[in-house]
Every structure is written in C-alpha cells, then in structure tokens.
A and B are shown apart, each in its own frame.
Chain A
Amino acid sequence: MIDRLVGLMILVISVTVFLVARGYEAGFGDPLGPAVFPQMVAALAAILSLGMIFRPDPNPDFRMDRARLKQLATLAVLIGYVLLLEPLGFPVSTTLATALLAALFGARAMRALATGLGTGVGLYLLFNNVLGLPLPLAPAFIG
C-alpha cells in the first residue's frame, strides 16, 4: 500500500518536472538545450513509478512505537542544533545536542552530560585550534 502511495507521489512529481522543464529554452549550438535531459529522466521516472503502483512490495514494518518516537526526537534535536549553532556558539550548542543524543541512545543523565561536555569542548579545540577552522565560540548576544 505504501509502495502505491509513494509510486503515485513520484508519478505526480515527474509529471510536474516534465511540465516545468518545458519552460527552459535552448541556446545557440546546443540543439538539446537545458530542457530535454530532465524531461527524459522525468519520463523514465513516470514509467518506473507505474511499476511501484501496479506491482507494490508488501508494506515495511512501521508502527508508532518507542523507536519511532526516538527517531522523531533525534530529528528534533538535530534541527534544533542547526538553528542554535550560530546564535549560541559552537561549544554550548554542541554540548547540549550531544548530551541529548547520548540520552536518546540510552546513556544515564550524568554520562550523557559528560559525553556532551567532552564532545563540545574537545571538537571545538580540535577544529578551531588544531585544524585551524574557525567555529563560532560565544553566544551571539554576548558578542
């Protein structure tokens, strides 16, 4: 069932791509232009998506359980980390993110915090001082 849905999605996307690509114009001495190759690929994708729609595989194992919640939490931590990386500076944001991830992977609170601190400070020193790649240090509001 999921295969059919995904196949349908790919079909819609490839038809859209095909139509959008019609607007790209060819240049001089380039008989094919920027439109034809994407259209060839989109047509192929559309044909292949029919294969998924009409001959779907059985559904993969997918339930809302603890593993799923942990995956969502991990994604939330990662997205939050990227948002906070520049505002909070590297050491603070990395310590927080690593500690939360370690906890998600089953570390106890103190160990998670220690892993976070070690990673935040250690990687900052490694990249900023040893490898010479400047990383944002202090929170932006301090300066």
Chain B
Amino acid sequence: MDILNALMDGFSVALTPTNLGLAVFGCFIGTLIGALPGLGPVNGVAILIPVAFAMKLSPGSALILLSCIYYGCMYGGRISSIMLNIPGDEPAIMTTLDGYPMAKKGKAAQALGISAVASFVGATVATLGLTFFAPYLAKAAIYFGPADYFALYVMAFATIGGVAGVNPIKTLLAAVIGLMLASVGLDPATGTARFTFGSYNLYDGFDPIVSIVGLFAISEILMYFERIAGEGGEAVPLDRGLPKLREVFAGFPASLRGSVIGFICGVLPGAGASLGAFVSYNVEKQVSDKDGTFGTGDPRGIAAPEAGNNAASGGALIPMLTLGVPGSGTTAVMLALLISLNIQPGPLLFERQPEIVWGLIASLYIANVVLLVMNVPLVGIFTRLLSLPQWLLMPVVIMVSFIGIYSISHAPFDLFVMIAFGVLGYALRKLDISLVPVVLGLLLGADMENNLRRALSISGGDFGILVHSSIALAIYALTAVMLFLTVIMARRQTGKAAS
C-alpha cells in the first residue's frame, strides 16, 4: 500500500497547474521532435535541457517536462516512419517495415491509429512496471557498497556493446574515450588539475550537457548534408482524419506481447528502446506470421515494435532512477540533467526526495493519456508539420541549442567546446563508433572512479575488495551471462544473413 500512497502523493505534485501545463507542452514538443526525421529523442531532450534551465523550473518540474518530451518523442518517432518511410529516430526503424506499406495501401490513418494505441499500451505497461519494481530495486540498492557500484559500472560498459555496436571493440573504445574525457579537470579528492593543459576553463572538466548537445545535435547537422542526397521520401497522403475503432484494436494482443518484451529489454542496462523494438518485432513475427503477411502492412507488425520501443523507453528509467546507471542514450541525457540539477539519482533519491520521483512517475501516467489524445484525433497536425522545409527547421534548431548553452554560463568558451564535440561526434559516427557509450563514459566516469577509490581506501589498497561482496560477484556473473547471450545472438544473426 506504501506504493499506492506514494503514487497518490505523486499525483498531487503532478496535477498542479504548472506541472500539468509543462506535461502537456512537453508531450506536444516531444511528439513534434520525434516526428521530424533526423531529430531523435536524444537530440530533442539534449537541446531542450538548457531551455528548461532558462525557464528556471524547479528540479521536479524540469524533470517532468523532459520526461514528457522523452515519452512524446517515442510516440512521435512512428509518424515519419509510417508517412515517409524515414524513421524519426532509431527505435522507430522497425515500424517502417509494416507501417509504410500499410500507409501506401491507403490505410495511413489506420496505421497511425494502431501505432498510437500500441505506444499507449507499451508506455503504460512500462510505467506500471516502473511504479511497482523501482521501489523494490531502490530498497535492494541501499545495500550496495562502493565495490558493488564499481561492478555495476563495469556491467553497464561491458553490455552496452551487445546492442549498440556493429564492432564490439569500437563500442568498448567509445566507452573508454568517454571515461578519458571524464577525467579532465580538477580531481575532487586531491585538487590535482588533470589534463587541463594549464587552462582555467578546463578546471571544471567538460560540462556533460555542453558535450552532449555537441556530440548529438551538432554532429547530426553535419551528417544531414550527407544523407540529403540519398532520400527522396514522399509523404503518403492521410486517407481520413479518424480511424475506425475496430481497426485500431487489430493489433492489441501483439501490443501486449511487445510491451512485456520491450520492458525487459529496457530495464537491462545499456540496451534500450532500439533493442526493445527489434526483439518485439522478431518475436511477434515468429509467433503470428503464419501467412507471410509481415512486411506488407500487417497490423501486428506495427503494433509489436511500437509497443516494444515505448515499453523499453519507460523501462530504461528504472536503472537510471534507482541506480544512477542509465539504460539508453536518452536516459543518459536525463541523467546529465539530474546531475546538473544537483539531484543524485540512486536508492536514496526514493527516500530523500520522494516528491520528485513520484511526481515524475505520476506525470508519466498523465503524459500517456495526453499523448494518446494528441496522437489519435490530432495526428493530422503533426503529419502536416512533416512538410515544413528543412532550411527553416535546421537553422532554428541550431540557434536554439547555441543560445541554450550560452544562457547557462554566458561563456563563449562553452560554445567552442560544443562545436569541438560536434566535430568529434561526427568523426566517431563516420568511423562507426557509437556515441552512446561515449556519453555514458563521460557521465559515469567520475562516479566510477570515486567508488573505486572509496572501495580501496576501505580495504587499505587491496584490490581483492572488488570481488569480496556477493552483490558484486552476482553482478559480474550477470555481466558474463549477458555477454555470452550477446555473442550467441550475434552468431545467429550472421548465420541467418549468410544463409
């Protein structure tokens, strides 16, 4: 009953006019960003973090705004997948497989309706999961010592490769690059200036938000010029405003299956929404594709991956909030936000600042309802926005991110750092090195080092402490199992591709 009481308190936080207004605004902006091709949730949330600062929101309200943007992006990502065959973000790739063919058959409204309901089912299942599992995980996590946290960080870095990486060496290298960048600045324990080249500007290290906006948003703009030649996506006309109710529920059982699978994928550290959508689609295909209709506009082929990616993005909030270890790129960005707001995620967050956690969870329930309303009857607004010209959108987006960063510190130096990270991000993407592990390394590096140093000062310098606790051992064992499964899955996939 504790949980229900806490949730009711959360609703009293979320239902204040300011927070409710922010939730609705966040849902709208999120759907918009998700729908625009190329601008994924990571970019959307990263660019809007400085804006949330600029609005001088309280930490709880800022978190509500950005989480609603996050959920909105996941809903919106499907719109350009279905209408243009261009996924708005990575997790929406699977939705193009059946969504676009269905829209081409003149059933665009039905495809959008099915995917909206599937998104709602997935996100609601995940939010329920968050409500009931997160407090237990937080309770268990209180017993984690420094060595156990160190093990947890090792797990996050070791397993992220299973999903993100084409080449596992490069994915690990990405994480290590992030960790190296994280060590720039004054060492908090001893005051030693590390790798600052004598520049005072670098004493505070790289601000995670400046780095993230650079890595994702600026590099995205550079990538845009290369992609522009290849794509000639014509928007499919919307056949009618509202789909029929019966049609919309055609994929309901598939949504439920997809939600459960997606949620599990989301909770695993380092996995996230893309994996959720991918696994949900493939499982659904094995379960129900008896007549070979998948890939030609099967409703279940739309429902399963949409439910999967939304459930995974909700599930990914669990490790981020309870352990401080994000499960996806976007939750990594949200972690950066929390750190900048001086909120330390982790088990103590649930005890010390319950109004923030439960206000957030309650506002996610509200966001789901708002998003369902926005995405079924009002979807026409968003499809029309797809025809906005890029020459208008892109420059405005760039400028908003520049002012946002400038408004935090009023330091042109930060803007140069952002541009430099943009070039770095572009180079890494060209080399097929995933950016998410870089961000994780940058964000978690300081904590990983602190926990290691704390563990060793407890043991007086004996490295054996790292494997003394049963929790740490269990985490290392789980890491080994996940790595093993990744290798097997990779084998099967290459085997299939070859045959």
Chain A neighbourhood of B172, CB < 8 A: 44, 48
Chain A neighbourhood of B177, CB < 8 A: 10, 45
Contact A27 B190 (CB under 8 A): yes
Contact B403 A135 (CB under 8 A): yes
Q: Known contacts A60-B432, A115-B395; is A45 also within 8 Å of B173 by CB?
A: yes
Q: Please tell me if A143 contacts chain B, counting CB pairs below 8 Å.
A: no
Q: Please tell me if B183 contacts chain A, counting CB pairs below 8 Å.
A: yes
Contact with A along B154-194 (1 / 0, CB 8 A): 00000000000001011011001101100100010110101
Chain A neighbourhood of B323, CB < 8 A: none
Contact A48 B391 (CB under 8 A): no
Contact A102 B392 (CB under 8 A): yes
Contact A3 B431 (CB under 8 A): yes
Contact B390 A27 (CB under 8 A): no
Q: Please tell me if A140 contacts chain B, counting CB pairs below 8 Å.
A: no
Q: Please tell me if B222 contacts chain A, counting CB pairs below 8 Å.
A: yes
Contact B391 A24 (CB under 8 A): no
Chain A neighbourhood of B460, CB < 8 A: 31
Contact B452 A115 (CB under 8 A): no
Q: Known contacts A115-B391, A115-B396; is A30 also within 8 Å of B54 by CB?
A: no
Contact A45 B396 (CB under 8 A): no
Q: How far, in angstroms, from A37 to B395 measured CA to CA in the complex?
A: 41
Least Cβ–Cβ distance between A28 and chain B, in angstroms:
10
Contact with B along A28-55 (1 / 0, CB 8 A): 0111111001100110110011011001
Q: Which of A34, A44, A52 contacts B194 (CB 8 A)?
A: A34
Contact with A along B53-67 (1 / 0, CB 8 A): 011100000000000
Contact B389 A107 (CB under 8 A): yes
Least Cβ–Cβ distance between B415 and chain A, in angstroms:
4
Contact A32 B461 (CB under 8 A): yes
Q: How far, in angstroms, from A59 to B167 measured CA to CA in the complex?
A: 14
Contact A105 B229 (CB under 8 A): no
- Which residue of chain A is the closest to B441 with respect to CB atoms? A41
Q: Which of A31, A42, A78 contacts B419 (CB 8 A)?
A: A78
Chain A neighbourhood of B228, CB < 8 A: 67
Give the size category of A's interface with B.
35 or more
Chain B neighbourhood of A115, CB < 8 A: 391-392, 395-396
Contact A48 B392 (CB under 8 A): no
Chain A neighbourhood of B169, CB < 8 A: 48, 51-52, 55
Q: Please tell me if B236 contacts chain A, counting CB pairs below 8 Å.
A: no
Q: How far, in angstroms, from A52 to B190 measured CA to CA in the complex?
A: 35
Contact B190 A25 (CB under 8 A): yes
Q: How far, in angstroms, from A128 to B395 measured CA to CA in the complex?
A: 20
Q: How far, in angstroms, from A21 to B56 measured CA to CA in the complex?
A: 39
Chain A neighbourhood of B195, CB < 8 A: 17, 20, 38
Contact with A along B453-467 (1 / 0, CB 8 A): 100110011000000
Least Cβ–Cβ distance between A52 and chain B, in angstroms:
7
Q: How far, in angstroms, from A49 to B390 measured CA to CA in the complex?
A: 38
Contact B180 A133 (CB under 8 A): no
Q: Please tell me if B400 contacts chain A, counting CB pairs below 8 Å.
A: yes
Q: Please tell me if A12 contacts chain B, counting CB pairs below 8 Å.
A: no
Q: How far, in angstroms, from A73 to B344 measured CA to CA in the complex?
A: 41
Q: Which 5 pairs across A and B sit closest by C-beta, in order of nearness?
A: A31-B461, A107-B391, A51-B169, A105-B391, A101-B395
Residues of chain A touching chain B, judged by Cβ–Cβ distance below 8 Å, are 2-3, 6, 10, 14, 17, 20-21, 24-27, 29-34, 37-38, 41-42, 44-45, 48-49, 51-52, 55, 57, 60, 62, 67, 70-71, 74-75, 78-79, 81-83, 85-86, 90, 94, 97-98, 101-103, 105-107, 111-112, 115-116, 119, 123, 127, 131-133, 135
Residues of chain B touching chain A, judged by Cβ–Cβ distance below 8 Å, are 54-56, 167, 169-170, 172-173, 176-177, 179-180, 183, 187, 189-190, 192, 194-195, 218, 221-222, 225-226, 228-229, 389-392, 394-396, 398-400, 402-403, 406-407, 412, 415-416, 419, 423, 426, 430-432, 445, 448-449, 452-453, 456-457, 460-461
Given A78-B398, A132-B56: 17 more A-B contacts, CB < 8 Å: A6-B431, A10-B177, A14-B180, A37-B449, A51-B173, A55-B169, A57-B432, A79-B416, A82-B402, A97-B395, A103-B391, A105-B391, A111-B391, A115-B392, A115-B396, A123-B400, A131-B56
